[in-house]
A and B are shown apart, each in its own frame.
Chain A
């Protein structure tokens, strides 16, 4: 079963840009990856609606596109939220318990890493070392850094964001 994601909010202009881009490149050998990269530049991510257009226009099965999109970490299937949370899972943070924080966030927001809440508010991802090992374990929400965290504090921090 396909998972529910943030409702697609692509515009007519974006679609025209996508179609034009595919039209000029689709007959080139090995065009799929560059097309996917440019599609992601247009939309910020590659939701099913965008992959469908690529599939229909390039006559490539949608599964093939999805397979490529999930193989390479450069492709995102979900948009970034209004507040982008990244949890450091680098060595120092991890030994200090950032794994638990990451777990707690997934549980609280009911999303997995790489996903965005249905209201588009929070997106969550793991990252490697933000250069603040002295503050381990570290989490960032947009540009705000939270250090020496415990899992119990997560809920309270999230509540600050409207």
Chain B
């Protein structure tokens, strides 16, 4: 693209035509502060923190959305600019509930950081009337506290523009403006799918997951309980950020060590049940292809996607794989196979999961997710909650040794660990399905066409005289686009992977907060995904069906994939929901 030259603070800068002042300034080595701006998600120029002076302009302009043009002269650090930004912050603070010391975002609050960086010295300067809001605790996974909301609309932007759901928005006007749902319904009464993207979009402490760390600490302290933990693939690609490591750091070994030191009786890995999922799902896929079942088969690992399908595409729930998600398969296997094998009463087992996800908190309470008669998973934590536990326990995370998971449910393959990145489940399934179909060893295990962070990916593979057409979508707006193509007959895939969050689980709603200043300039999804692909290529076993513990669990317990027993324990059912269900 053509470059144009402008002056920023008297220095010449060359930036691609179409850049905003914000982007051009970054090229010049200047970070203009932002608050409401999230690239591609919320570009509304509303908060006025990023204002700059432009020679000849009537007033200060919002750098985040203002395009550069040749010969433009911009000033980012004049007394007028600094005074304006400071005043804006002081006005935001005048209606912000400033319980900063007990706030969940105390160390990751973007408002707090801006106030510090921009020299706010009196948080009460413009104190006056404040609105008082009740907490919305109606959803299974999160709490909204509008007393801390700064009306930046980043949550609204991601819900509507990225996920295509739009169950939250600005209600009323002027001083009464607040973020909520239609007719002031609680979020839990709407068709919210619990993806949690609003939580990771929020710059302050207005939206946060329901915290269950106390329940886990209590269970660990209870001598009658046998407390077992599993960790999803993507957690190891994000957790390190909570301890100061750069985005894109893998901490599998330290995470296992930390969990052991927190006192869990067994430290297992969801990678095991990801492999189990592939065994069941690849079998289901081949069965549907060979016996004329409903196609395309669509993956069922992402509970945000499942709830979305039930609300928005209820006529396609038969396309969903009946496989439980890896989290639930793990819990089900733990409380049946493992409990029997070890002679432990499943009633005494507390099954804890650590997930990059908030929809998992909803999933554990679904019907048909209790194979042993007890819930498959009792408590589902986010990556952030685990970090909180590690900090509370005083573990020096970065100094911990790298340790392994426990046997037998701690063994996972390279195929399993890539579940956390968009396309990973598809690739893992293909590795097993292709070998099963051809009966020959797969030479090239990497299916690179389905890798990468694009929202929709397609590929066709020629396998055993058949063209297998696959598609991968991540983010629910992309899922909708893909499914509409399927419904209209424009596309005829055999197998589709859908993940609720853009980029897959690595970018899930339960992952550590990354400040917008970093997100706007870097692809967090790709950085975290690379961690998982590196774990995959370093793993000597890269196909799920070659996992020795998986072979064993079928020998000793399930029989074979798709067996009656496997169906009872590892599969589930779905319901049809409405979009705008009227309250009772």
Contact = CB atoms under 8 A, between A and B. Distances in A.
Given A48-B582, A49-B582, A63 B182 contact: yes
A2 to B, nearest CB: 4
Interface in B147-174: 160, 165-173
Contact of A70 (B160, B166, B173, B580): B173
Nearest to A3: B184
A67 to B, nearest CB: 4
A66 B160 CA distance: 14
B186 interface: yes
Contact of A3 (B170, B171, B181, B183): B183
A48 B169 CA distance: 16
B60 interface: no
A51 interface: yes
10 contacts: A48-B182, A48-B583, A61-B160, A63-B166, A63-B171, A63-B181, A67-B169, A67-B182, A70-B173, A71-B170
Contacts of B169: 61, 63-64, 66-67
B128 to A, nearest CB: 19
Given A61-B166, A62-B182, A63-B167, 12 more contacts: A1-B189, A3-B183, A48-B582, A56-B580, A61-B182, A63-B169, A63-B182, A64-B166, A64-B169, A67-B170, A67-B171, A67-B182
B91 interface: no
Interface of A: 1-3, 48-49, 51-52, 55-56, 61-67, 70-71, 77
B17 interface: no
B185 A2 contact: yes
A52 B171 contact: no
B220 interface: no
A116 B170 CA distance: 24
Given A2-B183, A61-B160, A70 B583 contact: no
B72 interface: no
B496 to A, nearest CB: 22
A69 to B, nearest CB: 9
B579 interface: yes
A146 B453 CA distance: 68
A67 B179 CA distance: 9
B24 to A, nearest CB: 32
Contact of A52 (B180, B184, B582): B582
Contacts of A63: 166-169, 171, 180-182, 190
Contacts of B185: 1-2
**Nearest 5 interchain pairs by C-beta:** A61-B166, A66-B182, A2-B183, A62-B182, A67-B169
Contacts of A52: 580, 582
Contacts of B165: 61
B156 to A, nearest CB: 9
Contacts of B172: 70-71
A55 B580 CA distance: 8
Nearest to A54: B580
A1 B582 contact: no
Contacts of A66: 169, 171, 181-183
Nearest to B190: A63
Interface centre among A52, A65, A70 (most CB of B within 10 A): A70
Interface in B529-584: 579-580, 582-583
Interface centre among A49, A52, A56, A61 (most CB of B within 10 A): A61
B579 to A, nearest CB: 7
B512 to A, nearest CB: 28
A162 B186 CA distance: 36
Contacts of B173: 70-71
B136 to A, nearest CB: 9
Nearest to A71: B173
Contacts of B166: 61, 63-64
Interface string B184-200: 11100110000000000
Interface centre among A51, A56, A64, A77 (most CB of B within 10 A): A64
B183 to A, nearest CB: 4
A112 to B, nearest CB: 12
Nearest to B174: A71
A65 B166 CA distance: 11
A51 B583 CA distance: 13
A47 to B, nearest CB: 9
Contacts of B170: 67, 71
Contacts of A62: 182, 580
Contacts of B579: 55-56
A146 to B, nearest CB: 29
A96 to B, nearest CB: 24
Contacts of B182: 48, 51, 61-63, 65-67
Nearest to B171: A70
A63 B190 CA distance: 10
Nearest to A48: B183
Nearest to B176: A70
Contacts of A61: 160, 165-167, 169, 182
Given A61-B160, A61-B166, A66-B182, A2 B189 contact: yes
A71 B169 CA distance: 11
B184 A2 contact: yes
Contact of A1 (B168, B184, B580): B184
Contacts of B186: 1
A125 B558 CA distance: 68
A115 B176 CA distance: 17
A59 to B, nearest CB: 9
Contacts of A70: 171-173
A67 B183 CA distance: 9
Nearest to A52: B580
Interface in B472-491: none
A52 to B, nearest CB: 5
A77 B173 CA distance: 15
Interface in B129-146: 138
Interface centre among A62, A63, A77 (most CB of B within 10 A): A63
A54 to B, nearest CB: 10
A46 to B, nearest CB: 10
A51 to B, nearest CB: 7
A63 B579 CA distance: 11
